[in-house]
Amino acid sequence: MTDLKNDRYLKALLREPVDMTPVWMMRQAGRYLPEYKATRAEAGDFMALCRNADLACEVTLQPLRRYELDAAILFSDILTIPDAMGLGLSFGAGEGPKFAKPIERKADIDNLPIPDPENELQYVMNAVRTIRRELQGEVPLIGFSGSPWTLATYMVEGGSSKAFTKIKKMLYTEPQLLHSLLDKLADSVILYLNAQIKAGAQSVMIFDTWGGVLAHKDYQYFSLPYMHKIVDNLIRENEGRKVPVTLFTKGGGLWLESIADTGCDAIGLDWTVDIADAKARVGHKVALQGNMDPSVLYANPERIEKEVQSILAGFGQGTGHVFNLGHGIHQDVPEESPKVFVDAIHEYSKQYHQE
Ligand code: CP3
């Protein structure tokens, strides 16, 4: 395996010294890039793009050709696991995800298989292997999965949701049923992420996009323990290097201490959190990733630079910060904004990394 030419993303996650703050953007491969739309049209639809290792590799690399990003993220989706369980995933034009066979009753859960990553999900592992080869050690590759709770919301609601009425009804009327679903999902995620690591992912991130819709106590019962179990069972060292794990709960700012207690290496922050406060609370235990509001990219370059400087100053001196947006980049940001953002981080962060 080639040595990494740029490992500041991995080092910052492990709170080892770096020369400047590393940066990548959630959803950095996507519809804000015209070349992404062209490749997706060539593939046919979104899942066809995910299933084609060469095209998935192509769209993974597209943002890296434009911007000086410090990491690549596997092009795929969190919903590959429920799809492999047989729920029948589709993405209608201009719509969110839909499942043909959502989870409604106990038998649906009892009958769910735990997918074999090198069988039903082999297309994901093939994409990881292809991307890793084509990256040629330029930057590390991030693998990912949804959290059990977040995956369960899509499986029970049948797609995206605003009020989460079906899964909350299950949570409050048949909690054991929900726990049996979350258990199966946690086991599936462990196999899936470990297979991504064996295939070449150098770090992994768990997206708990909907953890923040849970009541305070419910988060501690229905999301966090399942992520904790995953962290406990991940391969943490491969190819002679540590494989850092990042947990991102959108809306999880109240729970940073308990998230840090899972033993993860880093916590992803959304933009509702003050990064200085987050560092004071958990910075002695974990690295922090984030946390600019993705909507700042609608602003002019001066304003983008100001926001970057303010977050860098909030984190302050030293390592342990991976710059990112607090959630995925919007589709319609001005074309010049991502470059202003990425370049500003590298330029203004050097002063915080002098020993
Ligand atoms: O970050 C990256 O560049 C890697 C690719 C990536 C995608 N989805 C590609 C994608 C990642 C990491 C994801 C994760 C994902 N998928 C999450 C967690 C992160 C988050 O944003 O909260 C969630 C909740 C999903 C589920 C999902 N996938 C939804 C709700 C949608 C539809 C919404 C939308 O943006 O259209 C998707 C589709 C999807 N996944 C797209 C992309 C680029 C858009 C599909 C298209 O090209 O039409």
Residue with the smallest CA separation from ligand 1 atom 23 is 78
Mean pLDDT of 82-89: 98
Alpha helices in the chain (DSSP H): 8-13, 34-43, 46-51, 53-66, 80-82, 106-110, 122-135, 148-157, 165-173, 175-199, 216-222, 224-232, 256-260, 275-282, 301-315, 337-349
Distance of CA 162 from the midpoint of ligand 1 (Å):
16
% of the chain surpassing 70 pLDDT? 99
pLDDT confidence tier of residue 165, bands split at 50, 70 and 90 = very high
Distance of CA 65 from the midpoint of ligand 1 (Å):
21
Distance of CA 77 from the midpoint of ligand 1 (Å):
6
Question: What are the domain boundaries of the chain?
Answer: 7-352
pLDDT, one tens digit per residue, over 206-215 is 999 999 999 9
Report the C-alpha gap between 65 and 62 in whole angstroms.
Answer: 5
**Interface predicted TM-score of the whole assembly (ipTM), two decimals:** 0.93
pLDDT, averaged across the chain? 97
Report the C-alpha gap between 325 and 108 in whole angstroms.
Answer: 37
Mean pLDDT of 325-336: 97
Q: Is 1's pLDDT higher than 60?
A: no
- Are the beta carbons of 164 and 93 closer than 8 angstroms? no
pLDDT, one tens digit per residue, over 249-292 is 999 999 999 999 999 999 999 999 999 999 999 999 999 999 99
Report the C-alpha gap between 81 and 24 in whole angstroms.
Answer: 24
DSSP state of 211: G
The number of C-alpha atoms within 13 Å of 115 and in the hemisphere containing its C-beta is 24
Q: Is 37's pLDDT higher than 90?
A: yes
pLDDT confidence tier of residue 94, bands split at 50, 70 and 90 = confident
Closest ligand 1 atom, residue 250 Cα: 22
Q: Is 223's pLDDT higher than 80?
A: yes
Mean pLDDT of 329-344: 97
Per-residue confidence (pLDDT) for residue 126, from 0 to 100: 98
Please name which of 334, 263, 326 lies closest in space to residue 291, comparing C-alpha atoms: 326
User: Which residues' Cβ are closer than 6 Å to ligand 1?
Assistant: 26-31, 40, 46, 73, 75, 77-79, 91, 96-97, 144, 160, 207, 209, 328
The model carries a pTM of 0.97
pLDDT, one tens digit per residue, over 317-329 is 999 999 999 999 9
- Are the beta carbons of 253 and 269 closer than 8 angstroms? yes
pLDDT confidence tier of residue 355, bands split at 50, 70 and 90 = confident
Bridge partners (DSSP) of residue 90 are 98
Per-residue confidence (pLDDT) for residue 2, from 0 to 100: 53
Q: Which of 42, 78, 139, 160 to mutate to test the pocket of ligand 1 (most atoms within 8 A of CB)?
A: 78
Extract the tokens encoding 214: 């849970």
CATH of domain 7-352: 3.20.20.210
Bridge partners (DSSP) of residue 292 are 325
Q: Which of 9, 26, 27, 196 to mutate to test the pocket of ligand 1 (most atoms within 8 A of CB)?
A: 27
Length of the chain: 355
Q: Is 30 annotated as a binding residue?
A: yes
- Packed helices 337-349 and 301-315: angle between N→C axes, nearest 10 degrees: 40
Residue with the smallest CA separation from ligand 1 atom 1 is 27
% of the chain surpassing 90 pLDDT? 97
Residue with the smallest CA separation from ligand 1 atom 24 is 209
Report the C-alpha gap between 137 and 71 in whole angstroms.
Answer: 11
Q: Tokens 């909507």, residue? A: 295
Q: Is 93's pLDDT higher than 80?
A: no
Per-residue confidence (pLDDT) for residue 92, from 0 to 100: 82
Distance of CA 332 from the midpoint of ligand 1 (Å):
15
Radius of gyration of the chain (CA): 19
